[in-house]
Amino acid sequence: MYTFSNKLKTFSIILMVLGLLGVGYGFMTSHKSLDEVKTMLAEEASHHGGGHAEEAHVVAESHDEHAEAATHTDESQAHATADEAHHGDEHAEHVMHQIHNRPWSALYVAAFFFMMIALGVLAFYAIQIASQAGWSPVLFRVMEGITAYLLPGGLIVLAIAFFADSHLFVWLKEGITVEGHENYDKLVAGKSGWLNKTGFFIRGLIFLGGWVLYRQFSRKFSIAQDTADDNRNFKKSFRIAAGFLVFFIYTESMMSWDWIMSVDPHWFSTLFGWYVFASMFVSGITVIALISIYLKSKGVLEFVNENHLHDVAKFMFAFSIFWTYLWFSQFMLIWYSNIPEEVTYFVTRFADYKLPFLGMVVMNFVFPILMLMNADYKRIPWFVVMAGLVILFGHYIDIFNMIMPATVGDRWFIGIPEISSVLLFAGLFIFVVFTALTKAPLLVKRYPFRKESEEFHY
């Protein structure tokens, strides 16, 4: 049995407290009124303009006056005289919304990132059981520990989505489906059969319910198999793993439309579900490697040897390439045909997110392919840890790139709200996962492939 060391527990609690403080700070500082945003924009303009500083300020002030004067006058006249002013106003309002959205998006990106690790591990676990893998049973308890985060993590994602509302999902803006309303959007209205708040949460709960149900039962059968005197539980876990994988691939795809793609409701991509899946799968496998290496360094996983590490690292390597394949396929097809309604997705990312957008390709592809290609390197724990940390950071940036351009646009920065959100959920993740690891012995007993796995040799 593993005991959650006090040091690690304190560490995770410190992470959560620090994260919570930072998230609170992020929300406090994001409450900017329209006037504050205007002064901020004027200041920015003066910084950029240098010599034009005064001019910009004057323009900003006149915008204010014009805007107020023009609000309740004849419409056509207002448009004619205060076209500029209106434009300035709209711009400031747009920026204000982006600033308001930032702490929500930061929280959502981090929450989704850690939830997807647990979900990726669950899928990996089900595949190991359904394929009757002979090498991995010694790692099952580690995987089961990680998937314990799925329930709290998934509920948190849904809760953030619920409270963030239109801060994250523009299709929840008031009146967006009402014809004649100033927010009316014909395209979104056409999709409201799928994109509506009730449907979103019903689907979300069904997805999460199915995954958690599989997690609970597979865990139950796994524990029961330890003390059983036949293989009934193993057979049951095999059957539900196969069933879960079918359920998973449908729901994961739909989840990616709902939870991620819908932040850009005008945009759609057919391989998006796979793309998100690749991201979650490789992050999940990386976390399995990191936690196994940590536990082994504590001496509680003596039956895991460098052959198992080698196999996990091979999966990290292969799925990093798989992720790149999907990332590139999605990008290249859209870039190549350059259809305006699709290509804006990458235009915004390229214009405002150049460093994260291209940086993640380096972290998620170039780095792992060079670091993990050599068979000897895959057997060196510190090497796998280093590569793993880069991969995890790269996939955080991946999720960041999916959400942020739609919610905060060019107002992004990896600052206090983003870092604290990651700390908060990292702390919670460590706390939940390592608590779950203490609940059962770290080696499956009586699992039919246990012996083979213990003697696994590459």
Partner 1 sequence: MEASKVIHAIYTDDDVLMSAVKKVKAERHHIEEIYTPFPVHGLDKAMGLAPTRIAITAFIYGLIGLTVAIVMMNFIMIEDWPQNIGGKPSFSYIENMPAFVPIMFELTVFFAAHLMVITFYLRSRMWPFKNAENPDPRTTDDHFLMEIAIHGNENELESLLAETGAVEINIIDKEDGH
Binding site for partner 1 (CB under 8 A): 328, 331-332, 335-336, 338, 373, 375
Cβ pair 151, 212 in contact under 8 A: yes
Q: In whole angstroms, how close is the CB of 332 to partner 1 at the nearest point?
A: 5
Nearer to partner 1, 80 or 332 (CB): 332
Closer CB to partner 1, residue 143 or residue 360? 360
For partner 1, the closer CB: 317 or 431: 317
Nearer to partner 1 by Cβ, of 11 and 335: the residue is: 335
How many angstroms separate the CA atoms of 150 and 207, rounded?
Answer: 11
CA atoms within 13 A on the CB side of 87: 7
Burial (CB < 10 A; 0-12, 13-18, 19+), residue 62, is middle
Q: What is the rounded (10 degree) CA torsion for 323, 324, 325, 328?
A: 130
CA distance 251 to 273: 9
Q: Which is nearer to partner 1, 75 or 376 (CB)?
A: 376
- Structure tokens given for 311: 């196999």
Nearer to partner 1 (CB atom), residue 229 or residue 336 = 336
Residue 443: phi and psi, rounded to 5, are -120, 130
DSSP string across 354-374: HHHHHHHHIIIIIHHHHHSSS
The distance from CA 210 to its chain's CA centroid, rounded to whole angstroms, is: 20
Helical pair 272-297 and 140-147, crossing angle rounded to 10 deg: 120
Whichever of 69 and 332 has its CB closer to partner 1, that residue is 332
Distances (CA, A) of 248 to 211, 212, 273, 275, 340: 7, 11, 11, 15, 33
Cβ 263 to partner 1 shortest distance, Å: 24
- The Cα–Cα gap between 402 and 112 comes to 11
